[in-house]
């Protein structure tokens, strides 16, 4: 059975009734929730909801969704629950029961990628940014970040990718393989010394390929693509941040 069409548009609502033929679904959940599980939803947790409803946090290939079981236990509403002021009552539960694990997984994947450190090792704030050596906006971002980096408040981790031009992968590999990658990236980004692409060991080329794959798998479309933590959330900015957004990315005003 295909995943219902109502799960595609954000904020859509639908009513799911118990479907006896779906006995193969996880019998831990009430029958309407089992029906949705059998149709492709992954059910993560049950949570308390207002109005006599019981909430369930779920996910599917393209995102997360809340399910609300009616008091009779015979029907489930899928979508966003709001109060009289229009406040989203589903988001916090999805953060806790679904997104928290997803955020942790994304951050771990960033940590395990192949990056060049830019800033103090003990800086209190770590930010990951996908950087292409041929990207002028990456250079602008590098320059804009100097006050926070040089003050020891932020450590940028440049995940080197090769996506913009034919020699971008070779330039990324050359920077990763440099005797002092941080110094090489600094000289290149500052305009002191343009990095010259050169063939590198297969291991280094595979690191660039892996970074490119991660870029695509995270749904990035432009460089710089920057990810940072806001509490438990992992936020992202694609392209050069505005001045206002830059303060948010860096965690505060420039020192």
* 100 assigned to some structural domain: no
The rounded percent of the chain whose pLDDT value lies above 90 is 75
| H helix intervals, 20-127 | 31-38, 91-94, 100-111
pLDDT for position 3: 37
The whole-angstrom separation of Cα 155 and Cα 152 is 7
Residue 78: strand, helix, or coil: strand
CB of 97 within 8 A of CB of 87? no
Q: Are residues 117 and 177 in the same domain?
A: yes
The mean per-residue pLDDT over the stretch 85-96 comes to 92
Provide the residue range defining the domain that includes 64.
5-85
In the chain, the DSSP E strands lie at 14-17, 42-48, 54-60, 63-69, 75-78, 115-118, 125-132, 154-161, 225-230, 233-238
Q: Are residues 72 and 155 in the same domain?
A: no
Asked whether the predicted pLDDT for residue 10 surpasses 60, the reply is no
Q: Last residue of a domain, which of 50, 85, 120?
A: 85
The mean per-residue pLDDT over the stretch 110-131 comes to 98
Q: What is the mean pLDDT of the chain?
A: 88
Q: What is the pLDDT of residues 154-174, one digit of tens each?
A: 999 999 999 999 999 999 999
The whole-angstrom separation of Cα 159 and Cα 117 is 9
pLDDT for position 232: 82
Q: Are residues 57 and 172 in the same domain?
A: no
How many domains does the chain divide into?
2
181: left (phi over 0), alpha (psi -120 to 50) or beta: alpha
pLDDT confidence of 26, banded at 50, 70, 90? low
pLDDT confidence of 124, banded at 50, 70, 90? very high
* 220 assigned to some structural domain: yes
Model pTM score: 0.75
CATH number of the domain encompassing residue 44: 3.10.450.70
Query: 78-116 as b/e, with b when 16 or more CB fall inside 10 Å?
Result: bbbbeeeeeeebbeebbbebbbeebbeebbeebeebbbb
pLDDT for position 214: 97
* 92 assigned to some structural domain: no
Q: Running DSSP on this structure, what letter comes out for residue 3?
A: P
Q: Are residues 125 and 75 in the same domain?
A: no
């Amino acid at each position: 059975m295909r995943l219902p069409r109502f799960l595609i548009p954000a904020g859509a609502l639908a009513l799911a009734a118990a479907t006896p033929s779906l006995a193969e679904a996880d019998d831990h959940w009430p029958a309407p929730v089992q029906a949705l599980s059998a149709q492709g939803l992954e059910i993560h947790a049950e949570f308390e909801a207002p109005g006599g409803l019981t909430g369930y946090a779920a996910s599917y290939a393209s995102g997360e969704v809340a399910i609300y079981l009616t008091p009779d236990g015979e029907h489930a509403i899928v979508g966003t629950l709001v109060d009289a002021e229009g406040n989203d009552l589903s988001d916090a539960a999805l953060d806790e029961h679904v997104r928290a694990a997803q955020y942790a997984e994304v951050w771990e994947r960033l940590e395990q990628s192949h990056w060049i450190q830019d800033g103090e090792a003990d800086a209190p704030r770590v930010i990951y940014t996908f950087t292409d050596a041929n990207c002028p906006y990456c250079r602008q971002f590098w320059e804009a970040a100097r006050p926070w980096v040089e003050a020891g408040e932020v450590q940028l981790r440049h995940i080197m990718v090769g996506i913009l031009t034919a020699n971008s992968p070779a330039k990324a590999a050359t920077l990763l393989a440099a005797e002092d990658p941080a110094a090489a990236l600094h000289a290149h980004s500052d305009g002191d010394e343009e990095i010259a692409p050169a063939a590198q060991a297969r291991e280094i080329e595979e690191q660039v390929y892996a970074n490119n794959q991660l870029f695509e798998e995270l749904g990035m479309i432009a460089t710089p693509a920057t990810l940072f933590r806001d509490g438990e959330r992992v936020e992202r900015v694609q392209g050069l941040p505005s001045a206002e957004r830059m303060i948010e990315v860096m965690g505060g005003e420039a020192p």
